Amino acid sequence: MISAVPATQLSDRHFRSIAQLIESQVGIKLPAAKRLMLEGRLHKRVRALNFSGIGEYVDNLFEQGQLELELTHLIDVVTTNKTDFFREPSHFVFMKDVAVPELLKARGRKDLKVWSAACSMGMEAYTAAMVLDDMTRGRTFQYRILGTDISTAVLALAKAAIYTHDALAPVPAEFIKRYFLRSRDRTCTEVRVVPELRRMTNFMRMNLMDSSYPVDRDVDIIFCRNVLIYFERETQRKVIEQLCSHLRPGGYLMVGHSESMIHSVVPGLKQVQPTIFRV
Ligand SMILES: C[S@@+](CC[C@H](N)C(=O)[O-])C[C@H]1O[C@@H](n2cnc3c(N)ncnc32)[C@H](O)[C@@H]1O
């Protein structure tokens, strides 16, 4: 039968099945307004796999065994990975001026654990690493940073820690000098995070929708920013409660500035600032 839907477009049925799949596996809602974006992004993948059109790609996805093979790629297609160094900088000011001094004072601790959940390409994790490393100068404490994300594509970039020089625009000049390596070849536009910070930072794949997280339960600060906004209210509640169960008493959770509504989703949370919570 010849399909009336052009090869570059999704039929209603195909859009619904992908949207349901993504919401159940990743937690991300795909409203009708995202259809064009999805078609555009899927088109590249469809061509790479030599399918005749998006319809054939989606039908194939639901054939036995195919989803397992393709889900990682599909997740890479639907996730929005926008991030920056020092994004929403007030969180890093709070971390430096309030959270870290307080956490270190509590019981004379000498080590700190920070988790960037939904870390995308690693800029959030490395920003925390720069701020903490700077704070360790002349003081005796250590820190470890964990970055997790569902997308294997962004995790590969985070592990490589190679960025374009343009991405350094929000980074203070002194930190650029101290924490990034530049090629001797001055025509090269890439920089790499120094090994001292990379050694303190680990990345692993983790789905926030999972029923348990393979992460320590004594984390001091969790950044979970600009991902909750894509989830349904009930998913937001479950994710936040689960994240908080990995914080040590007195630990902090920071969410994105468009996500302060989680206060009403999990009423038991102590709100320190609109987007900063404490357990
Ligand atoms: C917009 S980026 C935010 C990056 C960073 N937190 C920031 O604020 O700059 C959202 C990230 O969430 C990740 N993500 C989406 N759904 C996820 C899930 N269910 N579990 C883990 N990560 C997820 C995406 O892959 C993407 O890298």
pLDDT digits (tens, 9 = 90+) for 127-152: 999 999 999 987 789 999 999 999 99
In whole angstroms, give the CA distance from residue 154 to residue 15.
25
pLDDT tens for 72-107 read 889 888 888 999 999 999 999 999 999 999 999 987
pLDDT at 4 over 80: no
DSSP string, 90-102: HHHHHIIIIIHHH
Quote the strand ranges of 45-127, DSSP E. 111-117
pLDDT at 268 over 90: no
Instruction: List, chain by chain if needed, residues with CB within 6 Å of any ligand 1 atom.
Output: 26-28, 79-83, 87, 118-120, 124, 149-151, 154, 207-209, 225-227, 256
In whole angstroms, give the CA distance from residue 187 to residue 190.
9
Considering only residues 262 and 213, tell me which one the structure prediction assigns the higher pLDDT. Answer: 213
CA atoms within 13 A on the CB side of 118: 26
Q: Which domains does the chain have, with CATH numbers?
A: 12-78 (1.10.155.10), 90-152+200-278 (3.40.50.150)
DSSP 138: T
Summarize the confidence of residues 226-242 as an average pLDDT.
94
pLDDT at 52 over 80: yes
What is the structure's pLDDT at 167?
97
Summarize the confidence of residues 54-76 as an average pLDDT.
90
What is the structure's pLDDT at 2?
52
Structure tokens at 168: 């350094």
Antiparallel, parallel or unpaired: β 142-149 and 201-205: parallel
DSSP string, 141-204: -EEEEEEEES-HHHHHHHHHTEEEGGGGTTS-HHHHHHHEEE-SSTT--EEEE-HHHHHTEEEE
What is the structure's pLDDT at 154?
95
The residue nearest atom 7 of ligand 1, judged by CA position, is 83
What is the structure's pLDDT at 69?
86
Give, in degrees to the nearest 5, the angle at Cα 150 between 197 and 68. Answer: 135
The residue nearest atom 12 of ligand 1, judged by CA position, is 118
Average pLDDT over the chain, rounded to whole? Answer: 93
Q: How many Å lie between the centroid of ligand 1 and the Cα of residue 149?
A: 6
- For residue 10, what pLDDT band results from cuts at 50, 70 and 90? very high
Tell me how far apart the terminal alpha carbons of the chain are, to the nearest angstrom. 59
Q: How many Å lie between the centroid of ligand 1 and the Cα of residue 102?
A: 28
What is the structure's pLDDT at 3?
58
Summarize the confidence of residues 8-20 as an average pLDDT.
93
pTM for the full predicted model = 0.93
Considering only residues 35 and 108, tell me which one the structure prediction assigns the higher pLDDT. Answer: 35
Sheet holding 162-164, edge to edge: 162-164, 190-193, 180-182
Summarize the confidence of residues 1-9 as an average pLDDT.
73
